[in-house]
Amino acid sequence: MNFIRVLWVILALFPTLVAAAELPKARDGSLVWILLVVVALAYFGLPMLARNARNKPLQKALSETELAKMTPSERRTYIAERENTKGAAAVMSKQDMLSDPISTMGVIEKLNHHNNGVFAGVLRGSSLSASVEDRACIIGPPGTGKTAFLVNQLLAWAETKRSFICLDIKPEIYGITRHSLESIGYKVIAFNPTESGTWRYNPLDDLDSIEAIGELVSNMIANSGEENAVFFESARDLLDAMINHLKAEKPSVSLPDVRDFLTTFDSPDELLDALRASKDAQAREIAAELRMVAKNERLFGSILASMRAGMKFLRYPAIKAALSESDFSLKELGGEQPVAIFLQFEESKSELLQRLTAVIIGHFMRYLIDHTNRSPVLLLLDEIGNAKGINGLTEKLNTIRSRNLPVWMYWQSVAQMTLYSDKATGADGRELIMGACDFVGVFRLNDKATAEYVSETIGTVNRVVRQTSFGTSSSSSNGSSSSSSSGDGINASASGGNSYTNSDSSTFNESRTLQEEAVVKPHQLRELNDGEMVAWYRGEAWRNNAQPYFVRWPLFKGRKPLDSEKRPTLTRQAKDTEKVLKLDLSALSRNEERA
């Protein structure tokens, strides 16, 4: 290689040396030596300068204290500007901003709520914990490690002996964790409205305000668009009046009782007459307002149809029995014994249960928002997209910050969030849901739309692209010319001569430009490994290890619950026996006191 370089130099310098030798001043050889030195410096020196320029950072190295004062985006820009992009082609640097220690140095400091927080993954060997005031949104299709991460969160939370509610649609989380939870003192409840042996729950037992009743009714009768507002709003009013009327008649009323009450009337007029004579003032007022609407039979018929559609799930005997009375109360979430409630609205029956799922989740959230004199209760909503249209979900997420109610929602894609778009304002449901969350994480994504949306949401970084080029060129020409002219006159002329030219040049060019690039590209989000999560939290973005539960607790590794373990364990007879036993013990205690 060196021989070729020397030969190339000799060939490049030869025309210059020949031309220089013909000059008078070159007889002593000094000019030739000067030219040799100049060209050699140009040839060997310029590449050295280019290498130094390429290796020179664009700004000085900053201390850890100085870096800590920067915002996450400023740190990413700092890293980009210190990168060296080599070669004339100037290919963009492949520095991973989501793994770089400087870029992600603020993550561990912000997610350090280890004493009372929610497990949020592992970064460089450090466990991350979000605050109980945070709301979170996790996105990922099945089979990417979402549920294994959720179970880790649940078990970590259980170590603090605090209550939680978990949406378990597969259902399997209950089967995985039940024995472990019971062994540390939890009361474990599984509400599966399609199973005959389920714990029963009547949501009307925990309604203690007019607003709470309105919340329940709004989730039962879905908003079907502004063009149908007169139907669903009037249907909500009618159902509201019926519930208030029955609660005024007797202390304990269930949703099946409300449906049975409706079926006792042969005409709308009879129903409204009964409500107008109610003991409850709210029911009387609503009935009087609807009396005018009832004059239009077709309109009132549409209102009744909307209400019946919202109560459709009450037609099925198993669901009707599950909602007829309560084996537990939400008041227990504020008691001394920690309570674990698993809501098993099975995915295989989602078409049947999606409205009831929205009703129960909305009701639980409303109760916990209204009753905050308790320890924090964790709400883990796996596959929340199966609950079609929880009324006021985005508003709830924005108002629960100080309510001791950390909420973690798990979605399959951002498309499921579009259901929560605000048609009146044009606000996108994705923006409303993710904008209300402090912590957002995505597992490997399968659909292009979600990957592109997430990549755009995380943002961009300005990377420095450095271009350098160096070259030498040499050219020479040698020629002769002659001319003559003659004519009939006395004048004649002739001319001739030789010419020789030579030129050498060396060039070095350097340019630096900023080029905007996504922090993480869509295709990279579709290439994540199982259990790997890209997350962002209050400006920080990083690549997270969503540690599965069986890594942290090896005793669970390879253990899958049997089908029988996934279902509620207490039979109807067993629970009735338990109630009778409690009554007998209570009576025995009273008799002993009298004695």
What does the alpha-carbon distance between residue 69 and residue 86 come to, in Å, rounded to a whole number? 30
**In sequence order, which ranges of 295-443 are alpha helices (DSSP H)?**
297-310, 317-322, 350-370, 393-399, 429-435
Nearest by Cα to 457 from 527, 529, 401, 522: 522
pLDDT tens-place string over residues 397-435: 998 988 999 999 999 999 999 989 888 788 899 999 999
Q: How far apart are the first and last CA of the chain?
A: 111
Name the pLDDT band for 182 (thresholds 50, 70, 90).
very high
Q: What share of the chain is helix, strand, coil (3-state, %, to 5)?
A: 50, 20, 35
Q: Which of 42-51, 203-212, 312-321, 428-437 is predicted least confidently?
A: 42-51
pTM of the model: 0.77
pLDDT in tens, 322-351: 999 999 999 999 999 999 999 999 888 888
| pLDDT above 70: residue 17 | no
Main-chain phi, psi angles of 382, to 5 degrees = -75, 135
User: By CB neighbour count within 10 A (0-12 exposed, 13-18 middle, 19+ buried), where does 27 fall?
Assistant: exposed
Calculate the average pLDDT of the chain. Answer: 81
Strands 187-191, 378-381: pairing kind? unpaired
Closest by CA to 172, choosing from 339, 382, 369, is 382
CA distance to 20, 285, 428, per residue, from 28 (Å)? 11, 120, 85
Cβ neighbourhood burial of 336 (10 Å; 0-12, 13-18, 19+): exposed
Contact in structure between 417 and 434 (CB atoms under 8 Å)? yes
Q: How far is CA 164 from the centre of its chain?
A: 21
Residues 236 and 244 sit within 8 Å (Cβ to Cβ): no
Instruction: Average the pLDDT over 561-569 and give the result.
Output: 70
Amino acid at 106: G
Continuous segment of H or E residues that includes residue 436:
none
Nearest one of 240, 310, 241, 225 to 274, comparing CA atoms: 241
**Who has greater pLDDT, 45 or 417?**
417
Rounded distance, CA 529 to CA 578, Å?
Answer: 48
Q: Assess contact for 466 and 512: CB atoms under 8 A.
A: yes
Q: Dump pLDDT digits (tens) for 290-322.
A: 988 888 888 888 999 999 999 999 999 999 999
